[in-house]
Amino acid sequence: MGGPSLNAQPAVAPAPSRPDTENGRPVDRIPWLPPAALALPCLVGAVILLGWEAAVRASGTDLFPGPWEVGRGLVELARKGLLFKYIVASLFRVTWGFLLAVVIGIPFGLFLGWFRPAYWAFNPWIQVLRPISPIAWIPLAILWFGVSEGAPIFLIFLASVFPIMVSATAAVQSVQPVYLRAARNFGLSRLQLFRRVIIPATLPQILTGLRIALGVAWLVVVAAEMIAVNSGLGYLIIDARNAGKRYDLVVAGMTIIGLIGLALDLMVRRLERFEEVNWGTGGRE
């Protein structure tokens, strides 16, 4: 009687209020590709292509390709059906390795951040394993999985799980104490506190960890495919180099890798538009 009620959910951890209008007009929280965000990269890209072509012509080299030769190489790969096949193979490996890292890394990272004894027990070993380059694991991956899909997926998992785990742990440990005190004032159990406060408050930092991990995973799959398998964009690059020194196909493969990496990053950044992701930070401008 006279005490706070659990039904008053907004008081547990109110999301910071933010203006939804500017000069009387509704505004988007995170503008999605405004005109300048499209025009400026295109302008820079045009300058790079012109400079690239000019440098190749000035050098007089017949070995390093210009933009036109790379474009023809892409058309050749597409016509033969190899481009789509290799892209799908690489994305397949990244998808499974990254998802496995998410399924294991986020819950375990939250657990370490929430339970201090577990953090003391496991964190030193995580910090021992984390600096080891995933490339250094390639011989062991081939020994354990052979030349199969398991080897690159395992390497991608290793590359992704530590950034995800560390970001989730740090996110829990950096939750603002005011949220915890407000929740405890309403008598929430530890499970309720974790579900209704900790998880929403850690989403922004976890999302940052996912972006970093996805970029690292895309790097590692290319390196793994150069050694452990006979398909994918990494295999395309090393095979084009060895089979006739087709550097136009080498640069074409590099271009596709970069474009897909950009698309993956934009896809993850799209999640920042959701209200739940900005719960603990008041949004990002």
Domain segments of the chain as ranges: 64-278
Q: Does the pLDDT at position 21 exceed 70?
A: no
Q: What is the pTM of this model?
A: 0.76
Q: What is the pLDDT of residue 275?
A: 60
Q: Does the pLDDT at position 7 exceed 60?
A: no
Arithmetic mean of pLDDT over the chain: 80
Fold of 64-278: MetI-like fold (1.10.3720)
Per-residue confidence band for 172, with pLDDT thresholds at 50, 70 and 90: confident
* pLDDT tens digits for range 237-285: 888 888 777 888 999 999 999 999 889 888 888 776 666 555 555 444 4
Highest mean pLDDT among 23-32, 90-99, 261-270: 90-99
Once rounded to an integer, what is the mean pLDDT over residues 67-75?
Answer: 90
Of the candidates 245, 260, 232, 235, the residue with the CA atom closest to the CA atom of residue 65: 245
Q: Does the pLDDT at position 125 exceed 90?
A: yes
Once rounded to an integer, what is the mean pLDDT over residues 124-148?
Answer: 89
